[in-house]
Structure 1
């Protein structure tokens, strides 16, 4: 449930830094709830890992673009 909701947010348009913040806020809000059962907590952890992976890939892509634009390399 949680993972599906996060994936739907990620798949609707480009994911920019502002969108990362919205998704992170959603994950934080879900994490603060005491009523999530164990499978939902596991999905929340998986969604958090996916978000961090996407952020890392985005940072890597930005670094590669900067290197490609820099004529000194």
Structure 2
């Protein structure tokens, strides 16, 4: 089973698309954006989840990097 939160590869213009439980949450430009999407989805401890592979899968690039591809 894959993680419920997926942070996709950086886009050519910068930022990363974030999906939560297969629903698009938005385009994140930094970790704070991702944390806000997680909070809005009703999940607890957003800050702690970013480095938990059981919750978050970082695809196509290094974790915590949002610069243009």
Normalising by structure 1, report the TM-score.
Answer: 0.28
Please identify which structure carries the higher strand content: 2
Please identify which structure carries the higher helix content: 1
Normalising by structure 2, report the TM-score.
Answer: 0.29
Whichever of the two has the greater Rg, that structure is 1
